[in-house]
Amino acid sequence: MSQSPTQQSEIKYGERHIAAGQLVTFPNPREGRRYHINITLPEFTCKCPFSGYPDFATIYINYVPNELVVELKALKLYINGFRDRYISHEESVNQILDDFVAACDPLEVTVKGDFSPRGNVHTVIEVGHRK
């Protein structure tokens, strides 16, 4: 069954949520206690700014929260917002770190992008921030 041109150009609900993808936070329920939160996002995609080919990675975020904690669904939608962006491995991981720090001001955070091999090259980018 084919769709009409109107149906094809209609923005899907998931695309609307991804487009609005902002990092949402909530108060740390154990502020004052030092603990680690480890998040794995295995379906990261972006596009190579040179070839236009898709790049795939697993993003690891490990942080010690301060006053705020990042809400996981919002983080997922934020990460999905990279899928159509032309951005290098290095810039994408650094951008995630910058946005994460701006959103929740953690005591410390490490963001690691483990990019799938392409053309016999495997890249891992790791950046960190500490107060």
Out of 55, 84, 99, 114, the active site residue is 55
Give the three-class secondary structure for 87: coil
Out of 48, 84, 99, 114, the active site residue is 48
| Residue 104 among the catalytic residues | no
Tell me which residue of 44, 39, 35, 85 sits closest to 64, measured CA to CA.
35
Read off the amino acid at residue 76.
K
Q: How many Cα neighbours within 13 Å face the side chain of 103? A: 21
State how far the Cα of 129 lies from the Cα of 12, in Å rounded to an integer: 36
Q: How many residues in total does the chain contain?
A: 131
Catalytically active residues are: 48, 55
